[in-house]
Amino acid sequence: MLSSYLRRQYKLVLMLALFAVVFAAVFSLYDLPAEAVGYAAVLCLAIGLVLFAAGYCRYVRRHRELMRLLRNVQEAAFQLPPPSGALEADYQTLLRAVCADRAGIAAAGESARQEMMDYYTLWAHQIKTPISAMITRLLVVFSLTNVKLFALCTLGTLGCFGVLYALVYWATARTYYKIVRA
């Protein structure tokens, strides 16, 4: 994490080093003692280290807060930390807009799914009645009035087809696995 903070602050560190070089050059041109430059550089370095440590602590705290928010991203409304500048405020506004759009898309998808389920439920109920009437008419045409016998024959036929399907599946699955393993 320290390396990412240093990469983020490299321009500031570079600028401070450049300032030290400028001071050394100016002091050298005016024939001032070099120890004055060294003393000023040590003071600036001490102040810079204190400010660097404070900034790094703020950076770590903010990073941990964002990681906590990332773990709780599924919450409907999560509280972002206060922005530290105009650019970060813009990013937070953008993030809120994306979250609102995502919620709208999820709601639209749920609504479409519910409409589809309602449609298919209605369709299944509407198709059931004509099929039932057609089966009843066929039974009457063929003089099959024993409903219990018809139900048993239907279940027996479905059972035979189920067993036949299982056997074919078992045979083809074995062959398929042999091909895959080879």
What's the predicted TM-score (pTM) here?
Answer: 0.48
**Percent above pLDDT 70 for the chain:** 97
Say if residue 76's pLDDT is above 80: no
Report domain extents, the chain.
2-81, 82-144, 146-182
SS3 track for the chain: CHHHHHHHCHHHHHHHHHHHHHHHHHHHHCCCCHHHHHHHHHHHHHHHHHHHHHHHHHHHHHHHHHHHHHHCCCCCCCCCCCCCCHHHHHHHHHHHHHHHHHHHHHHHHHHHHHHHHHHHHHHHHHHHHHHHHHHHHHHHHCCCCCHHHHHHHHHHHHHHHHHHHHHHHHHHHHHHHHHHHC
What would the pLDDT profile of 43-66 be if each residue is shown by its tens digit?
A: 888 998 899 899 999 889 888 888
Say if residue 29's pLDDT is above 90: no
What would the pLDDT profile of 85-126 be if each residue is shown by its tens digit?
A: 898 889 888 888 888 888 899 899 999 999 999 998 888 878
pLDDT score at 54: 93
pLDDT score at 161: 96
